[in-house]
A and B are shown apart, each in its own frame.
Chain A
């Protein structure tokens, strides 16, 4: 059968070669200019048609808009390759290359309709900001991070690094800012825990996310105060409103280092009888033991995590509602060798060069450890009316963090520190219908109320906090230009219940300020786009900065709050240049973030004498700081099979008042990757192998005598990855991957690991990932 087909094809090709002249003339004149492209433009999240999207075929005069069903059509196109651009306010501009070419061979086999017609479905993604730079992980790039913590996964985005406390705790850092200065929006709700603490990792199960997005720079207008460094969006997939049956996926990940196992499953579906109804259940289990560095195991670095979430919703064209509930529970071991009582303990470990405590592999989690629970209940409802969309989002979160010390016999049953924080949030957003078909935007109100209880060792007092904000963002698209401008006003009330001895000493604070943003995108041609954004944001001082008091264990520092602190204000200027061609893509982003009244810990001349000896004394003060840097990404398809990617991030942070560098700023880094697409191997489709190299420089920009030891040396890390898809049936697929990290078992320390004094970083780590989609 196959052979005979080949023979026929060969004859046909020969026949057409003979008639080449005739064929060319024919193509240029009549039939081939009858090609047409049609399709539908849909919202990627809601799957609803988008009305009024502007479609252009680049380098031609052809322009059309989508009709009320989201349909569009271009006709009278000649054969050839075109770039189809789809633009609508509030969505990311997409460019799709379409090839309206038909070989003579195909011409004979296929009906005319199929040859001349290309059906292009465009799925548009609603953008958070048109003009502000962002990066995201989804599909394969997200897949490859499965099993890792949120911060580890986000490191793949250029400009994002992490702040670690040993091997088990990591927080994301955007352009050198972290903790209080970035916001995490988990499924549309502002994540509220004890995010001020550098050893408090985000309480989020990354398996919930279908996409992780990092909005870089001050994004105060849409997200409110505190977002002066950036925003992380953890976005789950849309509920399966249109599926009648049940489907799901099962993920298993195994890591050799720590012998960590992760199991995560999702089950979702709709109901045949109730159209527009969808539900999802999801859960994750994680169990890991002591992490190994190239030279020794780290005692008590195991982790146990149990998370689950459930969601259900209903949606029609006019209205929709969704309920989401998630629970996150983790038990994190803190490296025993990091527990110090005094400064002399710390200096002894540093002098020793390695931990005094050696261990073997062990899964048991002993003190010191953290038991963290986070519950989130979210309700969202929306209604569409005459082109407008009104949505209401309500959330209730409860975060409980129990930190157990190694200290004292009572600590076995009673945590040394217990934080319980409850947060209620509410947002109302009206997305109005386009004004004059060119301007669209949204107006919103948001409220927050929270209260916190701290028990145990004095660190931060109990407090109550309320926040109210209102914002407006408008977007305007005109030919090659896209503009965006927004304004917001926020007020915050803070009541602190501080005790001096046994006497209550209540303190009240009120802060309020404006945030603004203005930005523009200029799409010079189909290859080049330039964007610029200026954003401001502010952050009121948090309770720990105002009132903390006590020894920060692990950091060997006595930290004291300062109740006279004023809010920080960020002025963030960003420029971005993006070049895209068929085999090469480059993105260069430059930023300058100037933060007035930047709150930082200033070393005091006299140490504090305590029962555990003298501790360096730090107090919160304010200065003016600048964070300037560049993020560069390139992707180059050298051949159809070989691909090279490079990421460079550069950052310089400076204290403009003291005329000196700032401490704890991530070092500059360069990452290179080569990827070879193997294609089909045995049963595995889309197979690939890739090799990566990461170079992290030594952080040389530090103030003199600011640390117990100099910043660690530069390091090189190599990694390897192979993977592919095994298709079982039409609906079932297994995605597999094997990863080797720190291939050469390099012994290194990282400047942004608070445990760099005590131990090396993780050694070689192989992992196997399997994902079964059914």
Chain B
């Protein structure tokens, strides 16, 4: 009786060990894949009456951390009017993932805000509207002031509905930042 018992115990233990340990079939490690990485913000200014676009970019190709982002300085002419387009890109992917279209499609929960400092630098007026007639801000016009220099903050506000209720109201307050970067700006003669 006794040997049978211990034999049973040992057999049971070994079988179960084998079962437990064999449960783990492992896969190979893979690099991270960030859902919605934005590496690049591109502003395209086209002066009224011209067809030559001026492109300015803020870039952080390796995402948060690592190498520091690079920024170009925006140079505009005083007392002119420009058509402006804002683009968001993920250049870490090949081919480049253009996130601008997604933002436009989901215009009801996004708002692009351009804030110059000092405010006399220029005025920005968005020309695109969402389904509830609030601005999206991906395209608009800029009217520059006199000779000056300062900075421009570009924010992409994500303002999704809360408990099914829309929160976007055309102001910057609701939601959170998907993008919040600053360019240096020179308004020259």
Contacts and interface: CB of A to CB of B under 8 A. Distances in A.
Interface stretch (B42-50, B61-69, B127-135): B61-69
B186 interface: no
A458 B63 contact: yes
A410 interface: yes
B35 to A, nearest CB: 5
B24 A451 contact: yes
B165 to A, nearest CB: 8
A356 to B, nearest CB: 6
A319 B160 contact: no
A499 B179 contact: no
A411 interface: yes
Interface stretch (B78-86, B118-126, B138-146, B170-178): B170-178
Contacts of A299: 162-163
A406 interface: yes
A116 B69 CA distance: 89
A408 B109 CA distance: 10
Given A396-B23, A611-B179, A381 B12 contact: yes
Nearest to A504: B29
B5 A613 contact: no
A396 B31 CA distance: 26
Contacts of B160: 367, 406
Interface string A309-338: 000000000110100000000000000100
Nearest to B105: A409
B162 A359 contact: yes
A104 to B, nearest CB: 57
A356 B174 CA distance: 6
B64 A610 contact: yes
A408 B35 contact: yes
A695 interface: no
Given A364-B163, A394-B16, A611-B41, A462 B29 contact: yes
B64 A319 contact: no
Nearest to A407: B36
B34 A392 contact: no
Interface centre among B9, B27, B41 (most CB of A within 10 A): B9
B184 interface: no
Contacts of B176: 339-342, 345, 406
Contact of A612 (B34, B106, B177): B177
A250 interface: no
B26 A396 contact: no
Contacts of A367: 160
Contacts of B31: 499, 501-502, 504
B163 A455 contact: no
Contacts of A319: 5-6, 9
Contact of B36 (A336, A411, A453, A609): A411
A525 interface: no
Interface string B2-30: 00011001001100110011011011011
Interface in A422-441: 422, 424, 426
Contacts of A392: 13
B24 A424 contact: yes
Contacts of A462: 29-30
A580 interface: no
B39 A611 contact: yes
A321 B9 contact: yes
Contacts of B21: 396, 424
Nearest to A336: B162
Contacts of B181: 611, 613
Contacts of A408: 35-36, 102, 178
A551 interface: yes
Contacts of B5: 318-319
A366 B35 CA distance: 18
Contacts of B32: 454-458, 499
B60 A611 contact: yes
Contacts of B167: 357
A414 interface: yes
A576 interface: no
Given A321-B9, A422-B24, A456 B29 contact: no
A691 interface: no
Contact of B26 (A357, A394, A416, A451): A451
B168 interface: no
Contact of A457 (B30, B35, B58): B35
A422 B5 CA distance: 32
A611 B39 CA distance: 7
A558 interface: yes
B29 A410 contact: no
Nearest to B8: A319
A405 B68 contact: no
A462 B26 CA distance: 12
A300 interface: yes
B177 A340 contact: yes
B180 interface: yes
B163 A344 contact: no
Contacts of B60: 609-611
B21 to A, nearest CB: 6
Contacts of A345: 176-177
Contacts of A409: 36, 102, 106
B164 interface: yes
Interface centre among A410, A502, A608, A612 (most CB of B within 10 A): A612
26 contacts: A345-B176, A348-B173, A356-B173, A357-B162, A359-B163, A379-B13, A379-B20, A394-B13, A394-B16, A394-B20, A406-B160, A408-B102, A414-B35, A422-B24, A424-B24, A453-B27, A456-B34, A458-B34, A458-B63, A461-B29, A499-B29, A499-B31, A609-B60, A611-B39, A611-B60, A613-B181
Interface of A: 299-300, 318-319, 321, 336, 339-342, 344-345, 348, 356-357, 359-360, 362, 364, 366-367, 377, 379, 381, 383, 392, 394-396, 405-411, 414, 416, 422, 424, 426, 451, 453-458, 461-462, 497, 499, 501-502, 504, 549-551, 558, 560, 608-613, 615
Given A341-B177, A348-B173, A362-B163, 20 more contacts: A341-B178, A341-B180, A359-B163, A360-B163, A364-B164, A377-B20, A396-B24, A406-B176, A407-B158, A416-B35, A453-B27, A453-B29, A455-B33, A456-B34, A457-B35, A501-B31, A504-B31, A608-B64, A611-B64, A613-B180
Closest 5 CB pairs of A and B: A408-B36, A341-B177, A497-B29, A499-B31, A613-B180
